[in-house]
Amino acid sequence: MSRILVLTALDVEARGLARHLGLDPIPSTSSPRYAGGVLEIATVGLGARALAERQSAWPSPTVVVSAGACGALAPELQVGDLVTPEIVLGPDGRRHATAALTGLSRRGTLLTTEHVLEDGAAKSRLWLGTGAIAVDMESAGILAWAAERGVRAVVIRGVSDSAGRGVPADLARVVGEDGRVHRMRAVSAVLARPRALADAMALRSGTAAALKTVATMLGKLSRTL
């Protein structure tokens, strides 16, 4: 039987996908994990930095999915749109091909960066320079990890912020490298910059739309495989 290991950066992404898919939490784990049927969801932290230390707890998969939210680079992409690239371009310039799976239509290139993009101008420069349609911080690392193990891997992401919007630095700092949201940092950001509350609400709404789209595709993929 196929086993699909879904890897997200953030706890909130894993929790949201599990809720949409009706997956149960796996108890007694140091980081969030959820499972049901052929699917298991685990977190790898920002930039997939916790991947190496957490991998020993996961079952051997037949397919690995880099899932969660991404930022649009191409102006035509809207919040909630699905992004399933053929190629992921890493921060080191390496190109990682995704696997061809029945039921998953792939197109375009996704760019993985080492830092959060704060505004539309930064996004525009990367879109013009790379031709990538969207950006995240984990997919290149996840695909490289899967390739080392001879496991097929794909990217299923949803757009949480359009090409004209970035993630302000103070909101980016709300999430720790472990993928957890630190509430006191969020409070500090709002107190220091009143506009941060509106920005946070917009990002929360966009992330919710993105995760709903991703969960729908994951459900279809699990039934196909």
Tell me the per-residue pLDDT of 9-43, one tens digit each, with 9 for 90 and over.
999 999 999 999 999 999 877 889 999 999 999 99
Residue 134 Cα distances to 52, 110, 121, 212, 216, angstroms? 25, 5, 14, 18, 19
Dist CA 203 CA 186 (whole Å) = 13
Does 159 score more than 90 pLDDT? Answer: yes
The more confident residue out of 171 and 222 is: 222
Least confident of 16-25, 60-69, 159-168, 187-196: 187-196
Per-residue pLDDT at 1: 61
What's the predicted TM-score (pTM) here? 0.93
Does 178 score more than 80 pLDDT? Answer: no
Dist CA 60 CA 62 (whole Å) = 7
Which spans in the chain are helix H?
Answer: 11-21, 51-54, 120-130, 139-148, 169-172, 183-192, 195-224
Confidence of residue 137 (pLDDT cuts 50, 70, 90): very high
In the block, which residue shows the tokens 């079952």? 59
Q: Identify whether the C-beta of residue 104 lies closer than 8 Å to the C-beta of residue 83.
A: no
Dist CA 152 CA 126 (whole Å) = 28
Confidence of residue 107 (pLDDT cuts 50, 70, 90): very high
Q: Identify whether the C-beta of residue 179 lies closer than 8 Å to the C-beta of residue 9.
A: yes
Query: Could you tell me what percent of the chain has a pLDDT over 90?
Result: 78
Max mean pLDDT range (53-62, 131-140, 190-199): 131-140
Average confidence score pLDDT of the chain = 93
Q: Identify whether the C-beta of residue 48 lies closer than 8 Å to the C-beta of residue 138.
A: yes
Residue 130 Cα distances to 2, 73, 138, 156, angstroms? 35, 10, 17, 20
Dist CA 42 CA 133 (whole Å) = 26
Q: What is the dihedral of CA 139, 142, 143, 149, to 10 degrees?
A: 180
Mean pLDDT of 51-63: 92
108: left (phi over 0), alpha (psi -120 to 50) or beta: left
Q: What is the dihedral of CA 113, 118, 123, 125, to 10 degrees?
A: -90
Structure tokens at 42: 């685990």
What is the second-level CATH architecture of the domain 4-224?
Answer: 3-Layer(aba) Sandwich (3.40)
